[in-house]
Each structure stands twice: as C-alpha cells, then as structure tokens.
C-alpha cells in the first residue's frame, strides 16, 4: 500500500541522467582531450550511481525478483545493441567481440560480483543464508548455455576454426532463448518465492513508491544505462591508446568496458549484501550472466544474416580452464546455502586470475 506521505525522488537523481546523456551527445565520436576525458569519466560515474538508485526505486515498487530482472535485462539489451553495432562496422577485427564480451560478463558476474557480495556481506554479518535451490537452478542454466554457445564451437567439425555453421548458430540461438525464457518464467511466476531473500518477505520494508514515481525512475534508469554504455564506448579510444602503451592485448579494452557497463549491477549487489539480502545479490549476478548469454547469442544469430566476415565463438584452452573452475567452485558455493568470507575470497581470487591472464595471456 502506497503511503500518502511518499518521499519524492532526490533532486540529484533527477538531474544526473539528462546531464549524463548531454555529455554523451557532446562527446560521442570526438577525440577526447584531457579535460573532456575527465568530464566523461565523471559523467560515467554519476550515471552509474543514478542507475543504481533508480533501479532500487523500481525494484521497491514491483518487488523481487522483478526488480533485479529489470536491471539485468535493461543493461544486457543495451549491451547487445552495442555489440551488434560494433560488429556491423568493425569487420574482421570484431570477429571475436561477442565471444569475448559474453565470456567477460560470465567471469565478472559469477566471480567478481558474486565474490564481492559474499565477502562484504560476510564481513558485516559473519554468515549469510540464501536459497540454494533457486541460485542452483540459475547456475545450472548459465553453465548449460555457456557450454552450448562458447565451448562447443571449439570442437565442432562442420566448419573450420572455433565457429558454428549457420544451422548450428541458429540452434544455439533458439536454445539460448528458450532456456532463458523458461528461467524467467520460473523466476517470476512458477516459483517466484524461491528467489525472495531467505528469512524475509516482500512486505518487510517501507511503503513502496507510487506507480508514477516508479515509471519516472524506470525512464531515467534507461537514460542512465544508455549513457553508461555510450560513455564507456566514447572513452574506448583513449583506453586503446593506454593499453597499447603498456603493451597489453587489445582484448583488455573490451574487458574494461564490460566492467564499467556492469558497474550498476555490481553496486546494487554489494548494497543488497550489506543489508543481509544475499539472495538479491545472487539474483542480480546470475541473472545478468543468464541475460548476457540468453539475449546476446540469439541477437548475434539474427545479425549474422547481414554481418560479413567470420564469427568466432569458441573459447581457447585458458578460458575453458577458467570456466570449468568457475563452474565447480560456484556449485560448491551454492550447494551449502550459506556464505562466509572464505567463499567470497575464493571467487575473487578466480576473478583476479581472469584479470591477470587478460593482461598477461
């Protein structure tokens, strides 16, 4: 029930989204000097902060797990649009862009976001509980999708290299979309209660904002997310020059952009863990991983109709080792239904190994 004395949205949360979008329009496509680079980075950080705030307002209105689903899908849709746009104009040098982006998203969400949420939450609350049957199901779908989409292309023989034929890519796209759709149905309808924070219910917090306030926040959330992705792309040339200057591989640029794009989910997941709502953190992390695969692969399958050049999807040996280790550790973490500092430290160490190997392959 909505309170008659509903608090208005903070003024800064109304001002930041349009200012960040104006900064994007002003800076997009330009070579950034030092001053513009600083302004773009400030706008990027402000847009991330505002995105988290508006996502929490929407989540408060619609309840869990719809709130986390909205944030995960919104970010992923914009990210997919960015991937397709870059691939349509990048030629052969973007052949592995979809693979690199999805794999980076898996490592960031399943090790970086999960590990950070487990660590900070356990430091404050010692032991946190969550619903293992819900998170275990999400992890099972994630591992199945990433194996079908990114591991199998390395071993198929109908086409040369780590690629799919047209029919194989179509099957992977349909399978990804179907499995993601079933997961969303289970999460939001069939077994919605599984994905609520353990030991709490939906009404254990203050009165929800009005529908009008929630719609305003939803619109501003979209503006923030567009600004985050666009500003991240705007700073990529400066990142490329910096990466080249230190002699690191260019794939590091995509990783850095992925880290920035996933900042809203990261901040929201950490804040939920600090409030002893670890299930919400896991919903965000695993939901983002699922959305990344479940929406990117079908979009790439459709876009391949007009895209030219090869489409590299198969992972290399190093990435497959990291993926296998991530799957094994994640299963052991989730099976217990209880989180301590130890699990958070292990996931963060795996994430550190991923970052280190991205710089020094």
What confidence score (pLDDT) does residue 204 get?
A: 47
331, two tokens: 């299963």
Q: If one looks up domain 94-199+249-359 in CATH, what number appears?
A: 1.20.1420.30
Q: For helices 34-62 and 211-234, give the axis angle rounded to 10 degrees.
A: 150
Distance, CA of 149 to CA of 28 (rounded, Å): 32
pLDDT computed for residue 37 by the predictor: 81
Whether the predicted pLDDT of 69 surpasses 80: no
Half-sphere exposure of 59 (CA within 13 A, CB side): 25
Report the pLDDT value the prediction gives residue 65, as an integer from 0 to 100. 67
Confidence of residue 3 (pLDDT cuts 50, 70, 90): very low
Which residue(s) pair with 128 in the sheet?
339
Per-residue pLDDT at 201: 47
- Residue range 143-168: average pLDDT? 90
Average pLDDT value for residue range 197-214: 65
For the chain, the C-alpha Rg in angstroms (whole number) is 20
- Measured distance CA(303)–CA(308) in Å, rounded: 10
Q: Give yes or no for residue 342 having a pLDDT over 60.
A: yes
Question: Are the C-beta atoms of 94 and 87 separated by less than 8 Å?
Answer: yes
Q: Kind and range of the H or E element at 269? A: helix 263-274
3-state helix, strand, coil in the chain (%, to 5): 75, 0, 20
d(CA 135, CA 112): 16
Secondary structure class of 354 (helix, strand, coil): helix
Sequence length of the chain is 361
H helix or E strand, kind and range, residue 127: none
Copy the structure tokens of residue 261: 């794009």
349/248: higher pLDDT:
349
Is the predicted pLDDT of residue 301 greater than 80, yes or no? Answer: yes
Q: Do 141 and 356 meet the contact criterion of CB atoms below 8 Å apart?
A: no
Q: How confident is the model at residue 194 (pLDDT cuts 50, 70, 90)?
A: confident
Highest mean pLDDT among 81-85, 184-188, 199-203, 316-320: 316-320
Highest-scoring range by mean pLDDT, 31-45, 102-116, 245-259: 102-116
pLDDT at 133: 82
Select the more confidently predicted residue: 206 or 264: 264
Please give the average per-residue pLDDT across 346-351, as a whole number: 96
Q: What are the boundaries of each domain within the chain?
A: 94-199+249-359
In angstroms, rounded to a whole number, what is the distance separating the alpha carbons of residues 103 and 114? 15
- The pLDDT assigned to 199 comes to 56
| 330: confidence class by pLDDT, cuts 50, 70, 90 | very high
Averaged pLDDT score across all residues of the chain: 82
Percent of the chain with pLDDT over 70: 88
- Top mean pLDDT of 203-207, 336-340, 351-355 is at 351-355
Pick the range with the lowest mean pLDDT from 15-19, 118-122, 229-233, 247-251. Answer: 247-251
């Amino acid at each position: 029930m909505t309170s008659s004395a509903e608090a208005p949205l903070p003024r800064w949360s109304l001002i930041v989204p349009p200012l960040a979008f104006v900064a994007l329009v002003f800076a997009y496509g330009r070579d950034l000097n030092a001053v513009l680079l600083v302004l773009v980075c400030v706008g990027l950080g402000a847009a991330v902060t505002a995105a988290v705030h508006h996502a929490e307002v929407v989540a408060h209105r619609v309840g869990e797990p719809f709130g986390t689903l909205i944030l995960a899908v919104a970010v992923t849709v914009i990210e997919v649009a960015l991937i397709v746009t870059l691939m349509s104009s990048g030629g052969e040098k973007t052949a592995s862009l979809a693979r690199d982006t999805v794999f980076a998203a898996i490592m960031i969400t399943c090790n970086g976001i999960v590990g950070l949420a487990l660590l900070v939450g356990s430091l404050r609350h010692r032991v946190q509980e969550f619903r293992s049957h819900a998170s275990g199901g999400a992890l099972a779908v994630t591992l199945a999708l990433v194996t079908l989409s990114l591991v199998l292309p390395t071993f198929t023989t109908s086409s040369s290299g780590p690629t799919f034929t047209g029919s194989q890519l179509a099957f992977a796209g349909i399978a990804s979309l179907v499995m993601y759709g079933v997961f969303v149905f289970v999460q939001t309808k069939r077994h919605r209660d599984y994905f609520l924070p353990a030991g709490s219910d939906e009404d254990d917090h203050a009165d929800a904002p009005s529908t009008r306030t929630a719609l305003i926040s939803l619109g501003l959330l979209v503006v923030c997310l567009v600004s985050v992705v666009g500003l991240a792309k705007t700073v990529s040339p400066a990142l490329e020059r910096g990466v080249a200057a230190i002699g690191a591989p260019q794939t590091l640029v995509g990783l850095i952009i992925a880290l920035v794009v996933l900042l809203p989910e990261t901040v929201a997941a950490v804040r939920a863990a600090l409030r002893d709502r670890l299930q919400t953190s896991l919903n965000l992390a695993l939901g983002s991983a699922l959305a990344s695969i479940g929406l990117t692969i079908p979009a790439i399958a459709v876009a391949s109709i007009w895209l030219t050049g090869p489409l590299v999807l198969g992972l290399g040996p190093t990435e497959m080792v990291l993926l296998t280790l991530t799957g094994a550790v994640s299963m052991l973490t989730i099976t217990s239904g209880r989180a301590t500092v130890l699990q958070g430290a292990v996931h963060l160490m795996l994430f550190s190994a991923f970052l280190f190997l991205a710089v020094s392959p």
